[in-house]
Chains A and B, each alone.
Chain A
Amino acid sequence: MPSPFILDRSSVTQVMAWVLAALLPGVAAYVWLFGPAILVTLALATVTALAAEAAMLKARGYPARPFLTDLSAIVTAWLLALSLPALAPWWLIVTGTLFAIVVAKHLYGGLGQNIFNPAMVGYAVLIVSFPVQMTQWPGPLALTETPLTLAQSATVIFGGGVPKATLDAVTMATPLDALRTGLLQQLTVDEIMTQPVFGQFGGVGFEWLAAAFLLGGLLLWALRIISWQVPLAFLAGIWLAAGFLHFFDAGRFGAPWFHLFAPSVMLGAFFIATDPVSGATTPRGKLIFGFGAGLLTIVIRTWGGYPDGVAFAILLMNLSVPLIDQYTQPRVYGTGGRGKEPPA
């Protein structure tokens, strides 16, 4: 075995474990602000992802152990679960997770080979196929009279027989939904923002969930598991695009802070757009990738058919990665990039 003969102690498992750890502040905030339903969703997605991963590894003739223990399937499961409405029916979560692991990951070649982020593929399939069920967001506890316990949440998720009235009592439109609906009703942004669902920056509860994801993201950056380029460019893309529109017509376009402090944005910027497998690899490429995703998010939110656009924006940028990487190759040593040009 040739050199080198020593290794740093890092591993794929370690990287993925840190990503999961960095999601914990977000999960904790979720439970605190919206009730324990998300725990049921997370558990269901995790079990489904591991089972799908094991089955696919077996079908493809790969050893199960090194790939199940790399934790990548669990990361996909959690990212998808945190993107879905926590009170969505069980079959929605299972379908999305299966699609993410089976199609988006393994049919593209497994770990390291998928060109699209699996969690976002799962999300996109669900929002296109089941738009109604994708609105079953639990209302923030601050606005809910009778919050659901863990057992009640499980009943809602697993039991098909929950009366619609019960469901309506515990679910609520997200701030982005409310904004979209309001704008379609020809209300101005200021009028919409008077609804109880809106808080300081974003929605009540949602803004703090976003802050918790931001905190976890900063942890990943501090540990150098993600680079600064993608999240910063992503947030800058959102802020600049939303700010530009808001500056010209504050009545028709939401404020940039409102757009930034949606949980999907922080989750997308720090945990999803930073997925190394499906993202750009060069430093300049990461800036382009992140900025493009931010810009597209606002474009889709503003003119698209869905209230949120993070998933589609990231998938579209995933498509562009080979092109971005090819045209942003950094200068290598000795080609005049760094240091001084040699004297002639």
Chain B
Amino acid sequence: MSRKLFKFKGGVHLPEHKAESNARPIHAAPLPGKLVIPLRQHIGNPAKPVVEVGERVLKGQMIGAADGYISAAVHASSSGIVTAIGPAAVPHISGLPDLCITLSTDGRDEWIAHAPLDYQAMAAADLRMKLRDMGIAGLGGAVFPSAVKLDPGAAHSCPTLIINGAECEPWITCDDMLMRNRAGEILQGVAVMRHLLGSTEILVGIEDNKPEALASMRAAAAALDFTVEVVAVPTIYPAGGAKQLIETLTGKQVPSGKLSTDIGIQVFNVGTAYALACAVHHGEPLISRLVTVTGHVLRPQNVEVLIGTPMRTLIALAGERGGSTGVLMGGPMMGMPMPDLEVPVVKATNCILVKSNALFPPLPKALPCIRCTRCADVCPAALQPQELFRFAKAGDFGRAQEYHLFDCIECGCCSYVCPSHIPLVDFYRYAKSEIWAREKDKRAADLARERHEFREFRLAREKKEKAEKLAAKAQVKRAELAAAPASEGAAVPSEADAKKALIAAALARAQAKKAEAAPKNTDHLPPGTQREIEEIEARRAKIRELARQPLESEEKKP
């Protein structure tokens, strides 16, 4: 079974650091006394709380309901009492608190009544609603609600289903361990995906540095009654990027600005397939996941963790060491620094990476760009990062957009290879956030202009109507005067009525017009983008400040 593979452009070979954490078996993390469960753990609308402070909840009970189509529910990860519903620290780049439900666990870990779903007998739409209510979202990092991705839409089917087990980021091994130990369950989830998407070709892409996972998945695939092709893909970062994996396996590129489903391909992470299997075959909502705890700890390992567990608990479990210089959620290429260790594990938490100066030396100061184009050589989006950097730095965001800034996937390859050590990705994030901000301002200005124009139009129309009315009235008056100067008193009430009717009609017209031209909702963006914009907004100030500072080395001497 050898499939023709395609090479995506660029990419870098990174020190893998996988062996540290994949040698130990998976442990279940201890039940913490307190669980902090954010209502926004996925892309789309945050869940709406459906419990109250003081209420006792059971393990697996829905505590936040999905709000709208692109959303997902959140559940109590264990039984206990709701002690707070309010802002708390969450793992987010902005460092800003977000709405969370805090549970004080009772140690009984008592499940709510739950039962497997007979997914084959259910209507597809009902099954998707059910999955949304069970909180299933992409566990590869983007946490997009899976129910939405499992809707083939107008095409009625998605021919190719790709399961992403590439796990190309250094240090992280949770997908590797999941595939080694729970391959059968992953493929049960894949069966559900296949059922909903009507896929005829199913590919599992795994980097060839994970022979155990490949063997385990192949063995499990052989036992299925449908064909799943488990493919070893070359180990090169970012092979696990959805677009890159699609190209590696199929040779197709997702057209710029479109979705992979537009070319008949859908991609899910192995962890998502596993969560789906738990939901369908056991009726268990997404309340736990595998997390790699590694880096500067005594016993790097993978842990089965309840969503909402404070990160500190896991670092303690893996053995804290002195001299830590911070903690990342995710890998070293795309992960984000955590503001403190009380933040909870969320659905997106694949790795907790503890830094030290030895493992992650402080980044050297940046020098000017020498246009060596190493960044362009490694860019998997085939961009010209050195030009984007120049435009972003100069504030020429229009040119940056012309040079396809928004095709940047922020994988970090350019920053990694830059001999001048320029934090290139920072500049792209800054430019993107500036462009979003300007577009928002422009929408607001457009709206204001529309309103103003309508007001002008209305005033002009009213003036004209008034003039016409006056003319009509004058005519009536003249006629009346001419016809019956004697019956003057009788004409008055009817004239008043006519005036009233005229006013009413004008009001109705104005209202109709207003409703027609009422502010069209400027946010026609898909909620995914919208959320992204909000997130970016929140950290914009920070980034902008950073980008405003000239490169250290360019600073004038005091």
A63 touches B382 (CB 8 A): no
Within 8 A of A (CB), among B331-351: 332-337
Q: Is A8 an interface residue (CB 8 A)?
A: yes
13 A-B residue pairs with CB within 8 Å: A2-B93, A3-B335, A6-B170, A7-B421, A61-B556, A62-B554, A112-B368, A276-B373, A279-B371, A281-B387, A332-B381, A334-B255, A343-B264
For the complex with contacts A6-B416, A340-B253, 4 further pairs of A-B residues with Cβ separation under 8 Å are: A7-B363, A111-B368, A281-B384, A332-B404
| Contact among B252, B355, B381 with A5 in the assembled complex (CB-CB below 8 Å) | B355
A12 touches B370 (CB 8 A): yes
**Cα(A322)–Cα(B417), bound, Å:** 24
Within 8 A of B (CB), among A35-76: 61-63, 66-67, 70, 72
A11 touches B262 (CB 8 A): no
| Contact among A10, A325, A334, A343 with B254 in the assembled complex (CB-CB below 8 Å) | A334
**Cα(A332)–Cα(B556), bound, Å:** 37
**Cα(A276)–Cα(B247), bound, Å:** 31
| Contact among A1, A15, A63, A340 with B372 in the assembled complex (CB-CB below 8 Å) | A15
B256 touches A110 (CB 8 A): no
Number of B interface residues in the complex (CB < 8 A)? 72
**Cα(A67)–Cα(B370), bound, Å:** 13
**Cα(A337)–Cα(B420), bound, Å:** 29
Kindly list chain A residues whose C-beta atoms are within 8 Å of the C-beta of B198.
none
Kindly list chain B residues whose C-beta atoms are within 8 Å of the C-beta of A12.
367, 370, 419-420
Given contacts A4-B425, A6-B170, A6-B416, contact A338 B367 (CB under 8 A): no
**Cα(A14)–Cα(B426), bound, Å:** 24
**Cα(A92)–Cα(B333), bound, Å:** 50
A329 touches B382 (CB 8 A): no
Q: Is A159 an interface residue (CB 8 A)?
A: no
Q: Is B14 an interface residue (CB 8 A)?
A: yes
Q: Is B386 an interface residue (CB 8 A)?
A: yes
**Cα(A49)–Cα(B254), bound, Å:** 51
Of all chain A residues, which has the CB nearest B262? A342
Kindly list chain A residues whose C-beta atoms are within 8 Å of the C-beta of B264.
343
A3 touches B387 (CB 8 A): no
B370 touches A338 (CB 8 A): no
| Contact among B12, B263, B380, B410 with A343 in the assembled complex (CB-CB below 8 Å) | B263
Q: Is A304 an interface residue (CB 8 A)?
A: no
Kindly list chain B residues whose C-beta atoms are within 8 Å of the C-beta of A333.
8-9, 243, 253, 256, 380-383, 407
Within 8 A of A (CB), among B40-71: none
A332 touches B363 (CB 8 A): no
Given contacts A6-B14, A7-B363, A333-B253, contact A276 B407 (CB under 8 A): no
Kindly list chain A residues whose C-beta atoms are within 8 Å of the C-beta of B335.
3, 5
**Cα(A67)–Cα(B367), bound, Å:** 8
In angstroms, how far is the closest chain B Cβ from the Cβ of A173? Answer: 37
Q: Is A113 an interface residue (CB 8 A)?
A: yes
Interface centre among A66, A334, A338, A343 (most CB of B within 10 A): A334
A342 touches B382 (CB 8 A): no
Given contacts A8-B416, A12-B419, A281-B373, contact A1 B337 (CB under 8 A): yes
**Cα(A8)–Cα(B237), bound, Å:** 13
Within 8 A of A (CB), among B238-260: 243, 247, 251-258
Within 8 A of A (CB), among B9-37: 9, 12, 14-15
Given contacts A5-B328, A5-B355, A281-B384, contact A334 B407 (CB under 8 A): yes
